[in-house]
Each structure stands twice: as C-alpha cells, then as structure tokens.
C-alpha cells in the first residue's frame, strides 16, 4: 500500500471552463459574453491575449478527452457557456450550442469519464450585462431559466452539477477590483452582485430538485485561510479575522446557515458601504441543501492592517514561502486548516476539491518533454494534506486539478500555464507534462509514496 493512499472510489479529475478553453468565439451561433467584450479592451489583459481561440476545445475536444482517458483521470469538470446556449441570455435557445455540449458529454461518457458541469463560470451574456448584469435582481430569474434549460437538454448526460463558480471572485474581481469582466470598481456594487449570485445558486439548486434528475449538485467556492502577518500585532489579528469574513464566512454562512454574518455587514455599513437589499425569502433561497461542497483553493494569505484598503482595511503581504509563476505562495498546511475549518464550522456532507493547482512558465524541451517539477511538487504537497484531512475524518470525496490544459487565465492571458497538458497556442499541439504522468500513476495506484 502506498504511504499516502486514497479510497478506491476517490474522484480524480481535472477542471476547465468554457471561456478559458473553448475558443470558437463567433462559432455555432454563440452570443457575445462579458469576457469577449472585456478581453478585447486594450490594457485589460496582461499579455494582450483574448479567448477567441483559447485551446480550440470546440474543435479538439475528442483529442482532449482521449488524453484524459490516457492519463486515467476519472472525471472532467467543464462549464457551459451561457451565451452559447442563450446568445441573448434568455429567449430563444441556440440548438447548435446544445448539440455541441451533448457531443462533448457523450464523448466523455463513451470514454468512461464522469462529467462535472459548471452552470456559470463567468461568461455572462453581454446582452444581460447591458441590462445591469449581476447587479440587476432579475438575473436570478434569468439564471434559473438558463439552468433549467441545461437540466432539460443535458441532464441525461451529466454526472455532477456545479452552480456558480466562485461567487466571490466573479463579484469582487469583476465589480470591486476591476480586474475581471465587467470591470467595475465599486464595493457596494460587488456585494450586491454577490448576493444575486448566491440567490442564483440557490434558485438553480431548488429548480434542480424539481427535475427528478439524480446526479449530485453543489457549488464551487473560492476559499483560503487568512492568517495575521504578525500574530503579535492585534491590528493584524483583527485584519485576518475581517478577511476570513470577507473571503469565506460571508458565502458559507449564507449557504449553510441562511444568514450573512451580521458583524461583517454592520462593519461595512459603518464604513459607508451600501448593503444589498435582502428581501424576505432570499436567505431561504440561498441556503438549499447541497449534495457536495466544492472548494477551489490555491494559497493562503498573511494579512496586515492596511488603512488604504477601504472597506476591509486589510491586505496580504508576501512571505518567504515558495511561489508559483503567478507569485501565489505554496501553503499546504493552510490547505489542511481550510478543509478542517470548513468541516468544523459548516459540516458539509461531502467536500470535493473542485480546483487546485499551480501556474508555471512551462515549455516543450528539445526532447519533446515538458518538465514541470514545481507543479508535481505542488500537487504532491497539497495531496498529502487531502490525505491527512481524510485521515482526520473529513469527507473529501474528490480532487480536480486546475487545469487539464493550459488555457486563457483571465486577466493574466495565455502566459500563466496551469495545465497538466501543455498547449502550443500557435499550432494547438498538446504535450502531456511530466506532472500529469506522475498524477496518472497516483490515480492508478490510488496513492503515492513519499
Ligand atoms: C480560479 C478560477 C479558474 C482559474 C483558476 C486559476 O479562481 O475559477 O477559472 O482561473 O482560478
């Protein structure tokens, strides 16, 4: 038995998302998304790239699925593109879009790979953005309508559903920090978007329960532990506590406890934030019972008090820990703390790690290999913690590496490579990286040795 062994039915997967991989921007009747719009505005994307072609998954999904199979991965996480299904966000459905996803899902099934479909991974139809997007409460209904169409059209082929990917990032990076589409910079606006995303999540789960479909449904939250930069400085300790509220508790309290943390809302209000209108029934909508809870996580943060960062007054500092090519710090012990914190505070029936992985500056060497020891080490260290969490009685049922292929990494463009598989964007040639071969052995052996 390997030193770190995993249950035989552990769900080993790799993850992706529509805008980041599909390409085919104008193909198949797809409508414009906020990411199509945002990535074409000069200055928004670090390397000037966009997702027009990305990894051309639209035309190469059979090749990608055969690579998944070759690596022995058991599951593939992908998202449906809302404007590929409803080019205008609502109204007439685009049959070509539906048929595309049916082909992909059938191909996965034929290859014995489970599908995990994210309903929303950030590519909102621009037509809905023009009507206020996530700041317009009507979006809850638009989203429910879209989710119901997916259940009806794809439900027979989907093994796991994920509602909204990372409400915090879509809300905050897109509406407070201005780094993601639609590119606003207003905390109050972001908080309103977050409330509507959580409602959309709940409304989609509620609607799913009416369908009679048996696949599991859950969410994917972006989470990380927030530690004080200087544990002896009470202001840093308080900053870390606030960041735990901002990053994690706001979302998990809503989903699992049916309320937002009052002390956080009071504090924001006192600092001049306009709080979202929470109407009767909203919290009930949000706090639906989930079949699994998805954690997306990459690093932990060490935070200090920062008087310039309204309204949270906290910001992260760099530490001496090793960093990936995006400067994200390795903190595997923080990952363990995060799983334990989630389990202790919210008791989800089941946790799935729906994203975890490392960015690298990877290339194909002269012998045709991609050597990525940093990623292998990252995966190993993080999987050791998953193993430890399972040993501690926390029900972690699966682990999805972000990402299957290198892809369009949002504001970072094509230069941050997260894939298990290298993509040459000029030729679209795929090369399996060394870390993927390592992971493939881990899957085969249900574990690994130190
Ligand atoms: C997550 C996103 C995913 C990917 C990784 C690196 O926040 O969900 O699409 O960009 O970060």
Whether the CB of 406 sits within 6 Å of ligand 1 = no
Q: Are 237 and 231 in contact (CB under 8 A)?
A: yes
User: Among 15, 114, 117, which Cα is nearest to 400's?
Assistant: 15
Confidence of residue 14 (pLDDT cuts 50, 70, 90): very high
224-277 pLDDT tens trace: 999 999 999 999 999 999 999 999 999 999 999 999 999 999 999 999 999 999
Instruction: Specify if 123 maps to a domain.
Output: yes
pLDDT at 449: 96
Instruction: Specify if 86 maps to a domain.
Output: yes
What CATH number is attached to the domain comprising 406?
3.20.20.80
Instruction: Specify if 327 maps to a domain.
Output: no
Give nearest CA residue, ligand 1 atom 4: 409
The mean pLDDT value for 100-118 works out to 98
Whether the CB of 216 sits within 6 Å of ligand 1 = no
- Reply yes or no on whether 166 is catalytic: yes
pLDDT at 440: 98
Q: Flag whether pLDDT at 26 surpasses 90.
A: no
Distance CA 441, CA 330 (A): 23
Percentage of the residues of the chain whose pLDDT score is greater than 90:
99
Q: Flag whether pLDDT at 192 surpasses 90.
A: yes
pLDDT at 450: 84
Listed in order, strand segments (DSSP E) in 205-339 are 216-222, 226-228, 292-296, 301-305, 314-317
Q: Flag whether pLDDT at 97 surpasses 90.
A: yes
Instruction: Specify if 158 maps to a domain.
Output: yes
**β-strands 11-15, 4-5 pairing:** unpaired
Compute, in degrees rounded to 10, the torsion defined by CA atoms 311, 316, 317, 322: -170
Distance CA 360, CA 372 (A): 8
Instruction: Specify if 218 maps to a domain.
Output: yes
Distance CA 62, CA 13 (A): 17
Tally of structural domains, the chain: 1
Mutate to test the pocket of ligand 1, among 409, 415, 416, 420 (most ligand atoms within 8 A of CB): 409
Q: What is the DSSP letter of 259?
A: S
Q: Flag whether pLDDT at 50 surpasses 90.
A: yes
Catalytic residue among 22, 32, 153, 166: 166
The mean pLDDT value for 373-394 works out to 98
55-73 pLDDT tens trace: 999 999 999 999 999 999 9
- Reply yes or no on whether 153 is catalytic: no
Cite the DSSP H helix spans in 349-394. Answer: 373-391
Confidence of residue 377 (pLDDT cuts 50, 70, 90): very high
CA separation, residue 364 to residues 12, 241, 421 (Å): 25, 43, 11
Instruction: Specify if 70 maps to a domain.
Output: yes
Instruction: Specify if 196 maps to a domain.
Output: yes
Q: Domain residues for 185?
A: 4-223+342-444
Q: Name the pTM for this structure.
A: 0.98
Q: Flag whether pLDDT at 200 surpasses 90.
A: yes
Residue 224: cis peptide before it, omega within 30 degrees of 0: no
pLDDT at 19: 98
Instruction: Specify if 390 maps to a domain.
Output: yes
Task: Give distance in angstroms: CA of 233 to centre of ligand 1.
Answer: 32
138-171 pLDDT tens trace: 999 999 999 999 999 999 999 999 999 999 999 9
425-441 pLDDT tens trace: 999 999 999 999 999 99
Whether the CB of 213 sits within 6 Å of ligand 1 = no
Q: Cα(first)–Cα(last) distance of the chain, in Å?
A: 12
């Amino acid at each position: 038995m390997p030193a770190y062994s995993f249950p035989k039915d552990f769900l080993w997967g790799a993850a992706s998302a529509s805008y980041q991989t599909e390409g085919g921007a104008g193909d198949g009747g797809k409508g414009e998304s906020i990411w199509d719009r945002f990535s074409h505005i000069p200055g928004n994307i670090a390397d000037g790239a966009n997702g027009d072609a990305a990894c051309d998954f639209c035309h190469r999904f059979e090749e990608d699925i055969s690579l998944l199979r070759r690596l022995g991965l058991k599951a593939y996480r992908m998202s449906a593109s809302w404007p590929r299904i409803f080019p205008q966000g609502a109204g007439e459905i685009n049959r070509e879009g539906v048929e595309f996803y049916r082909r992909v899902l059938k191909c996965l099934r034929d290859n014995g790979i489970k599908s995990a479909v994210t309903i929303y991974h950030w590519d909102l139809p621009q037509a809905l953005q023009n009507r206020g997007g996530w700041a317009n409460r009507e979006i809850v209904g638009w989203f429910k309508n879209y989710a119901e169409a997916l259940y009806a059209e794809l439900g027979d082929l989907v093994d796991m559903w994920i509602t909204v990917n990372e409400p915090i990032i879509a809300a905050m990076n897109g509406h407070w920090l201005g780094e993601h589409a639609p590119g606003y910079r207003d905390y109050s606006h972001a908080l309103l978007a977050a409330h509507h995303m959580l409602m959309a999540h709940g409304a989609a789960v509620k609607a799913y329960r009416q369908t009679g479909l048996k696949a599991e449904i859950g969410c994917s939250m972006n989470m990380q532990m927030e530690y004080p930069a200087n544990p002896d400085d009470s202001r840093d300790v308080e900053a870390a506590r606030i960041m735990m509220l901002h990053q994690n508790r706001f979302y998990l309290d809503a989903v699992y406890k049916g309320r937002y943390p009052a002390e956080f809302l009071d504090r924001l209000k006192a600092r001049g934030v306009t709080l979202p209108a929470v109407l009767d029934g909203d919290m009930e909508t949000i706090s639906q019972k989930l079949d699994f809870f998805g954690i997306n996580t990459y690093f932990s943060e060490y935070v200090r008090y920062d008087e310039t960062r309204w309204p949270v007054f906290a910001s992260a500092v760099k530490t001496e820990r090793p960093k990936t090519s995006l400067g994200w710090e390795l903190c595997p012990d923080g990952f363990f703390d995060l799983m334990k914190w989630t389990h202790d505070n919210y008791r989800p029936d089941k946790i799935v790690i729906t994203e975890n992985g490392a960015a690298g500056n990877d290339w194909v060497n002269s012998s045709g290999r991609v050597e990525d020891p940093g990623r292998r080490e990252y995966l190993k260290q993080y999987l050791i913690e998953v193993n430890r969490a399972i040993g501690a009685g926390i029900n972690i049922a699966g682990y999805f590496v972000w990402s299957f292929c290198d892809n369009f990494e949002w504001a970072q463009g094509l230069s941050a490579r997260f894939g298990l598989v290298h993509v040459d964007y000029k030729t679209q040639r795929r090369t399996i990286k060394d870390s993927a071969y390592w992971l493939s052995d881990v899957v085969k052996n249900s574990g690994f040795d130190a």
